[in-house]
Chain A
Amino acid sequence: MIDFGFHITPSGTLNLDDVDQKTVDTLSRADYGFRTCIACGSCTASCPAGVFSETSVRQAILSVLNGKDEKALRLLSSCMLCGKCLMVCPRGINTRHLILSLQKQFEG
């Protein structure tokens, strides 16, 4: 095999048919914010922890919808529940409740 100095990037294609929709449905029942989020990123932009860690509510919601539960938990592990994201959300999502619901679902 020849090394050309550049390689094929693995495809980022997601097959949503493979994602367990039960988790998403359960979480949506617990907090409908999972369905109403428009991924604008205001929460991430205003997050005081986001400057120092990979905390991102936006990415966490998308990760759940894409079946990447572990990543969602990791993204919220440094959250201090200060609630700044709640204040800036244009969709009025109770982000604190959403984050706690997510942690409760996966961590029990």
Chain B
Amino acid sequence: MIYEGKRKIWSDYQKEIPDDHYFYVRSCIRQSFFPASEAAFLNITRNILGRDVFETEHHTTCGGIAYHSDTIPQETVMTIVARQFALMHKHGYENYVCSCITSFGVYIETLETWRTFPELEAKIADNLRKTCNLEFAKPRFVVHASDLIYKLREEIAAKAKYKLVNAKTGEPLKVVEHIGCHYSKMFPSKGVGGAEYPYVLTGMIEAWGGEIVDYPERRHCCGFGFRQYFIKGNRGYSLSNTHKKFESMEPYEPDFIITNCPGCPYFLDRWQYVIAESEGKTYGKDGHGIPVLTYEEVAGLVLGFDPWDLGLQTHQVAVEPLLDKLGIPYDKEKKFLGAGGKDLGRPALPSCLKCM
């Protein structure tokens, strides 16, 4: 790989990311998949780094899943988006940060559509007034939450309790970064580093001491693809995408995977179980899988959060070997305790994939 060439391309695709004062919108599925990630984001940005990140319980889904599944028209989605932007304006913000990559794609696509077709923008503003009686407004900046963590990566590194290095050998951990397709494949100029060499997660890993793995299928989709997964008959296609990625990264023996999309960590994590149980193949060491973490979880680990407070027990692939490698202490007995010490129960264990 010619690093100088990649760095040149990365430098051509830098986006402006405001430092402070954000209106935050959550993802509709992340809270089920990896429930502590968004809380970790708010904790890090507000309490540890002292930024002003506002959220309101009145915001809704962006409609992206229905839109990409062809069940609602684009005008409906644009009206939902206009309502989210109107809430931001109502609360006095002009920087919009969203948790979800699909939402990020929908927001950028909507703004680009309005820019290209001003008459449609006027129509949506009228829809918004009639349906919600809210004032139409557009954000000055739209960023994804991973953009903001990328912007603040050096501040996080300065406060880090752990580095992404093997505590025993001192070697940097080998990390696979996986970017959600809707981050920059649709509008390359809207993502840090563009579509071919997105730098948003690479920058975090480099700042926190890890080493990025460059492997052939690095830019391949995780396989979520709404219609591929929602229809059971198509799930083999989704599974095959993930399988292709793992077969490609396996020879490089990555220590973990970092992602910035709601669907990617879920599918890269859960499909490892399906591949193991249906094909007998595992990709980690000694029958384990390769842990798949969200960027908030990685930031939280680096800052010294308790792994179980970060929700790492909700992952299919066991994270304990990774925590041991990083030298992060954890209490095995507390793995399945929820808020207030409530017992969450014990999951059934797979027969092939080692999960403890």
* Residues of A bordering B, CB below 8 Å: 1-9, 11
Contacts and interface: CB of A to CB of B under 8 A. Distances in A.
Interface in B191-242: 232-237, 239-240
19 contacts: A1-B277, A1-B278, A1-B279, A2-B277, A2-B278, A5-B235, A6-B232, A6-B234, A6-B236, A7-B236, A7-B278, A8-B236, A8-B239, A8-B243, A8-B278, A8-B279, A9-B236, A11-B240, A11-B247
Contacts of B337: none
A1 B350 CA distance: 10
A8 B235 contact: no
B73 interface: no
B235 A6 contact: yes
B232 A5 contact: yes
Shortest 9 CB-CB distances between A and B: which pairs?
A6-B236, A6-B235, A9-B240, A2-B277, A8-B243, A7-B236, A8-B240, A9-B236, A8-B239
Interface in B151-197: none
Contacts of A8: 236, 239-240, 243, 275, 278-279
Given A5-B232, A6-B235, A11 B244 contact: yes
B332 to A, nearest CB: 28
Nearest to B281: A8
Contacts of A5: 232, 235
A4 B244 contact: no
Contacts of A4: 235, 274, 277-278
Contacts of B240: 8-9, 11
A23 to B, nearest CB: 27
B95 to A, nearest CB: 42
A3 B232 contact: no
A24 B73 CA distance: 49
Nearest to B277: A2
Contacts of A3: 278
Given A4-B277, A8-B236, A9-B236, 6 more contacts: A3-B278, A5-B232, A6-B234, A6-B235, A8-B275, A8-B279
A6 B233 CA distance: 7
A1 B234 CA distance: 21
A15 B92 CA distance: 57
Contacts of B243: 8
Contacts of B247: 11
A53 to B, nearest CB: 29
Nearest to B351: A2
Contacts of B274: 4
B329 interface: no
Interface string B234-275: 111101100110010000000000000000000000000011
Contact of A9 (B237, B279, B280): B237
Contacts of B275: 8
A105 to B, nearest CB: 33
Nearest to B247: A11
B14 to A, nearest CB: 34
A9 B243 CA distance: 9
A67 to B, nearest CB: 21
